[in-house]
Structures are given as structure tokens and as C-alpha cells.
Amino acid sequence: MLTQTLAAELAADNIQVNAIAPGFIQTQFSRVLWETTEYHQKIIRMIPQGRIGQVEEVTGIALYLASPASNFTTGSIMVVDGGQMVR
């Protein structure tokens, strides 16, 4: 809601407001989740693509949003979660 509200308020000033909503991504922060077999198996069952995402898979969306290619994109929440939201 905050993303859409700010996007609407700032659009006239040519300011784009978007968000990235990552799912389970293999980072140091989530290390316990992908190194612990029990947690890892539970997570994998929740993700239709059957794997944990990699940092590089979020980078592409971030680069798009930081580039002129996204100048007509505002109020969007880019979900990068291997399909977890569709379940």
C-alpha cells in the first residue's frame, strides 16, 4: 500500500516508486535456512520452482528499476520468489 500511495503522490514530479519483494534468497542473512536440512526441505516444498533463489536473480529486477527502461513503471511490487506467491 505504501508503494502505491507514494507512487501516486510523486508521479506528477516524475518520481517512480517501486518495490522488490524477494522470496527465499540464498544470502548470509538466510544461511541458517538453507544450511539446516530440516528448514531447507520445508522451504523447498513451499516454492513451486523447487529451489532457493540466488542473489543474481534479484539483481536483474533492481537493475531494471534503476535504469531508464523503467521510467514508465511506478507503483509496482516486483515479486521474485520462484512462484511461492501463487500457492
pLDDT (tens digit, 9 = 90+) per residue, 26-55?
A: 999 999 999 999 999 999 999 999 999 999
**Span 54-82, pLDDT tens digits:** 999 999 999 999 999 999 999 999 999 99
Is there a contact between 17 and 10 (Cβ–Cβ < 8 Å)? yes
| pLDDT score, position 87 | 80
Residue 22 to residue 53: CA distance in whole angstroms? 9
Which CATH code of 3.50.50.60, 3.40.50.720, 3.40.1190.20, 3.40.190.10 fits the domain covering 2-81? 3.40.50.720
| pLDDT score, position 53 | 97
Tell me the torsion sign for CA atoms 59, 61, 65, 69. positive
This model's pTM is above 0.85 = yes
